[in-house]
Structure 1
Amino acid sequence: TEDTHGPQGIGYAELPVSTRPLSDRDATTMWIELVRSRPGEITGLVTGPLTNLALAIRRDPELPRLLKRLVLMGGAFQHQGNTTPTSEWNIAVDPEAAAEVFAAFSGLPPERHPIVCALDITETVEMTPEHIRRLAERAGSIPAESISSSDAPGVRSTASNPIVRHFSDAVRFYLEFHRDHDQGFLAHMHDPFAAALALDADIATYRHATVDVELVGTLTRGTTVADWRGMWGREPNAAIATRTDPEAFFDRLIERVGELAARLYPAPGPKEGASGIERVE
């Protein structure tokens, strides 16, 4: 969605063209081969539509039982949608795939239920310019990274650290999108939050429910529906993240990404010379 994430999906960031060859293995095959090679060890993370995973499960119905856990970003339960009044984009793009995936995890024990990061929780995880400033500081990037709502649209970062620069340019676009849609000068970290739960599920609390997807509703197609009280008479098949500590999440994100940026692109250090301390590149 170019209006939300820019023409390349990464806001204003312009990454160097990769010289690596494209894989000749499609995503469906990759799911099956990787999970089969390490049964019970792999945590799957889906931050887009569930099409490829649904196709993989059609070919290999045992896949849900071979995964260690599945974490997905998608859906909206007691929250308004962002694609239709009741549906979230990842689910709305391919509701049939989402319905198949949820159904495939029925019958598994609670600790194996897919973790669902819906808009209900991801829209509480609000990145601000201050978080980006702190990340740049952790990376040792110069000058100080400053983003303001009063900046001209499309201003680019001048950060010395390439990771910080690309991160800042990507998120700036998203900040502007939220501001232009009257949501404040902030950016909801939907996908990074799901990735954080894949690394450490304990940073959120959960409520188990039976989840299904509306496929035929004239007004509600693509809506995720949670049966919290067992009214359908079906066993729960999802662990819905309901609460987290956003600032604890941001502390981890800043530390992890900032440390990575500092390690890959160390800041220039001082060098002792005949005339005293001087900076070297």
Structure 2
Amino acid sequence: MKIAFSPCPNDTFVFYAWAHGHIEEAPPLDVTYADIDKTNYWAFDRVGPDVMKISYAALPWVLEDYALLPSGGALGRGCGPLVLTKDQQDVSALSGQRVAVPSDRSTAYLLFRLWAARKVEGGVGEIVIMPFDEIMPAVQNGEIDAGLVIHEARFTYQNYGLHMLQDLGNWWEEDTGLPIPLGAIIAKRSSSYEADSLAKWAKASVDYAWAHPEETNVYVMSHAQEMSQDVASAHIDLYVNEFTRELGEDGYAAIESLLGRAMEEGLVPAFDLAKIRK
């Protein structure tokens, strides 16, 4: 079975066992490693594999053809994207400013827009889409006034002499009491494998990784590029949790709240929220 997920530590941790034949009855995986910006557009264009990791923000565009699996994704607390600036300043300083974002169809982008609509009087100025690994250098050299960062940038932005203006995960949790939805696992509704079976195998893969961390770590670090062991471990600790194993009621409520608000603000197309659970 063809599957696409990123080489980030949380994804390789989650799917190690399944990809290496440790899950009973699960089909062998043909893995494509691709960042979430690519898988989002594969899903939009209906050209991706049977199962993919995409941003929760992309669901409104694809739920007619893809089902959300309740296992294998990334939600959590204390793990949201950050708004960074070169100089310590007040939120009001973002009014009319240029802000770099890694994607305009990401959970991070939705959170930023929802937050800015409430907190930045007059709104921000130009939104510049930029590869996420270029955002912090651009803020550092003054090319951009502020940057929205994700992934391991949470742990490394101080190395660029940058300041955190807002942790959007903290804002979201204080505002809603819910975890923040980040990455979703979706499966083609036309797949020959039932969604319930796919979710069961993904959940078993998470359980195996938790039970065999040292074995799993070899695979994780082989795809972690130049990331240190400490950063990779912190990444996994943040993004792999009980919501990864199974969404549960709080997980579903978080997704419905995020996408429902985004739909009201016109940030995503109108869609049937009930399809999130179908």
TM class by smaller structure: under 0.3
* Structure with the larger RCO, 1 or 2 (CA within 8 Å, 6+ apart): 2
Report the structure number with the largest CA radius of gyration. Answer: 1
Which TM-score applies when normalising by structure 2? 0.25
Which TM-score applies when normalising by structure 1? 0.25
